[in-house]
Structure 1
């Protein structure tokens, strides 16, 4: 019996994970054209979705959720994934689905006589300073007290930006000049662990929405992470967190740092690419941000020697630890040549520094802000990230074929497979259905609903009954 179904084992080596990505939206305009508001652009962007589904909140063919979030931000929440590369594939598939909608929106605007480009940015802060998120979700055992888990994770989370931040140029503010930050989200969080999401953004959200059997599962909702463009950055962001969660659930010895005022420290760390930001501990001692990450990395390497090889393959997590070690070594030595194709903030900083030298200005030059933003444009052939990728200046973690497959196919190893089959049948039969994370419902002629509370189950005979009912009345 696997740990997923064994009541005696709360350690999820095979773990359900998901990522929610919000996109910034913008359109170009000629001097003669009226600028469209984000809400107006979003309405055009979602027009094909509304025409087909009569809703702007749907589950797409690959079992991911696609919707328009607060603030006119398009958002994709990936289907349930149970391994690291699988999750990266579905996150990147979301980018391509969104870009497809943007291309259709451009065609619609042109047909209406107001041609313009539609831009979707996979970043976290717009020009007005508004922030939008990239949230990570990790299934954990119900026996774990989330607040206690969050406290144990806080030192890791506030320093994680060193290894996987997206980087950004923060504009001048008051007497503070423009400067380069490691993270786009570090200045946007105000609490460590909280049930709030927008009112006072926490690092870890404790709202109890397991999307599964609440007697067995909890969902840890991480809000502090940046949106990642480079695949290795995504792998290190999620992979390192996955390893720390595994160690905590297994009772493995994890470094403990009782950091005093961790939220103020997260801002300091974002401004120090040397990793030498001192963190004052409650016992009066001091440790640097880099030392905290190094301690977690060293323990993760030891954990791999006894980890059950399930879910994300241990061999792949060794790749994660190798990259983790190389990034820490690069920060320590300030020689980034061995990781300057893998980590977003390092890639971006190197790029804008070269332009800054040419321009002879400071970080506040408007050309640098344009480069910063263009790095996050998801359009292939237009976005700066994609141009660098095609030139071999950014490394890969997965392959295009796997991402393309993920666009229209649900993960076949998790509950998402059930949802994907249900959605495919409903589309083929033009059946009226309702879908959420746990429930599948055939609405007509008489409502028939089944609830699937185990996100590890990729097969269930009750799905066959729903499909047969659908076939009977809609074929």
Structure 2
């Protein structure tokens, strides 16, 4: 399937957050009620709970009272890591405002937001990745080549969790049922084939990956996305890679999740079997060779991809040698496992016994996004967990749109419409001024941060809404 190779690629991450609120008496307030408090200032400002944030990301309240952030279009790995992390800041700001509103009503409640994928009764919510690929790519064919990587990727990028008294690499592994499908909630495939490119449909498709865990660690996010980018490039270039025998046979994903040795078997095309860690090793070695000839055409640089390969090597080696200290500061599941194992002796538990309420509390508290409260955030603040981007880049990403993609145009339009008080409507593709005469611009090139038509649209707003300017 050799064709055009995109080293500059539009991508994004959608994160659903778990939410709960406890008062001083440890009474739980309903998620629906707390979500209303959180989104009250959003509705007051924009008139809706489904909006595009000033940083050009989409912010909305999803089914089940899950706040969700879909990052603005990004075209490099570090940019995406920064905007994913900025989403945490955005929803945490809403949570803090909700606590203030509760206090004004004499309710002493703390709002908790969890960047994870499981609630206390086993319901799953998602973290979805989006990658723009060429229209000539057949997604089912792509899936056949990509699935061995995705079902084993939990070894290098899982968030880790306790299930049924055992530690698993991934929170999502028990909640996907197909390899490639157009469904999203009914069967929860690894790759969703629904054709919504949010771009010129004659040129592009959107690869929608819904098997990944939400990651607290920036370095884990970087490895999760960076390794996937390299695999996509290799598939586009026609590099020989492991291929699934049956693209919808993903039963191995659950066995892989619970086998910390990485020895769970994966059935490949031609009747061959490889262990999960051997599959990751095969992709890693192919990526190492690919990077030697990879031509930069913008986007993620070879230098940054070399950082990805170095971390990928350590993650695979950690599984192969069972020396998890190799990634004890870098990969979520290993960081969390280290925390849990420090508690086990105090609780009289053996190293493979995770069936204790205290460990379940640690598992959940790891994903609390509040600085100074969530366990991962505490480790990070103490320098015990690695980072990938400069904190200043995250702070900037929380308020400013990416400057290198279509999102920059959306950010400009949003800022000016807010300043002028002009009636507008925005989605991924379109910018619209609704009155006095509807004016609309469709942006079907997600790579372009410049468009004269948007300049004209902004001039139209200024002409008709000067009083508030």
TM-score past 0.5 threshold = yes
Work out the CA distance in 2 between the residues paired with 1:165 and 1:122: 13
Q: Which moved more, 1:236-245 or 1:260-269?
A: 260-269
* Structure 2 counterpart of 1:458: 449
Aligned to 2:206: 219
Q: Residue 3 of structure 1 aligns with which residue?
A: none
Is 2:239 the partner of 1:252? yes
1:187-202 paired onto structure 2 within 5 Å: 187-202=174-189
Alignment partner of 1:146 out of 139, 143, 150:
139
Cα-to-partner distance string for 1:432-472 (whole Å, 9 max, x where unaligned): 11000000001111110010100001001001110100000
CA contact (8 A) 1:125 1:184 kept: yes
Gapped regions of structure 1 (runs ≥ 5): 1-7, 173-177
- Map 1:75-154 → 2, pairs under 5 A: 75-154=68-147
Distance 1:21 1:339 in 2: 24
SS in 2 for 1:20: strand
Structure 2: how far apart are the matches of 1:305 and 1:262? 34
Residue range with higher mean Cα deviation, 398-407 or 275-284: 275-284
Q: Deviations over 1:75-108 (max 9, x none)?
A: 0000000000000000111100100000000000
Q: In 1, Cα distance between the equivalents of 2:403 and 2:93?
A: 24
Q: Shift of the alpha carbon at 1:262?
A: 3.8
Quote how far apart the aligned CAs of 1:261 are: 6.8
Structure 1 residues 34 and 382: CA distance shift in structure 2, 3 A: closer
Pairwise CA distance, 1:282 = 4.9
- Structure 2: stretches of 5+ with no match in the other structure: none
Aligned positions of 1:275-354 closer than 5 A: 275-309=262-296, 310-354=298-342
Q: How far does residue 287 in structure 1 lie from its aligned partner after superposition? A: 1.0
CA distance in 1, matches of 2:166, 2:263: 17
Is 1:185 aligned to 2:181, yes or no?
A: no
Q: Secondary structure at the match of 2:67?
A: strand
User: RMSD over aligned Cα, in angstroms?
Assistant: 1.4
1:264 Cα deviation (Å)? 1.1
Query: Does 1:11 pair with 2:2?
Result: no
Instruction: Indicate the residue corresponding to 2:386 in structure 1.
Output: 395
1:439 aligns with 2:430: yes
In the alignment, is the contact (CA less than 8 A) between 2:59 and 2:70 conserved in 1?
yes
Per-residue deviation, 1:34: 5.6
Match of 2:400 among 401, 409, 415: 409
3-state DSSP class of the match of 1:363? coil
Cα deviation, 1:91-144, whole Å, max 9, x if unaligned, reads 111100100000000000000111200000000000011100000000000000
Q: In 2, distance between residues paired with 1:415 and 1:281?
A: 39
Partner of 1:203: 190
Distance in 2 between residues matched to 1:193 and 1:104, nearest whole Å: 41
The answer to whether the aligner puts 1:356 opposite 2:344 as a matched pair is yes
Aligned residue pairs total 461
Is residue 2:20 matched to residue 1:26?
yes
Pair 1:260–1:132, CA change in 2 (3 A)? closer
Equivalent residues of 1:167, 1:182 under 8 A apart: yes
Give the counterpart of 2:37 among 41, 44, 50.
Answer: 44
Counterpart-to-counterpart distance in 1, 2:30 and 2:162: 24
Give the alignment's TM-score, normalised by structure 1.
Answer: 0.95
Question: 1:382 Cα deviation (Å)?
Answer: 0.7
**Residue aligning to 1:35:** 28
* Counterpart secondary structure, 1:305: helix
| Conservation of the 8 A alpha-carbon contact between 1:136 and 1:223 | yes
User: By how many angstroms is 1:392 displaced?
Assistant: 1.4
| Deviation larger for 353-362 or 379-388 | 353-362
Q: Give the Cα separation in 1 of the matches to 2:377 and 2:99.
A: 20
Deviation at 1:53? Answer: 0.8
3-state SS of paired residue (1:242): helix
TM-score with structure 2 setting the length: 0.96
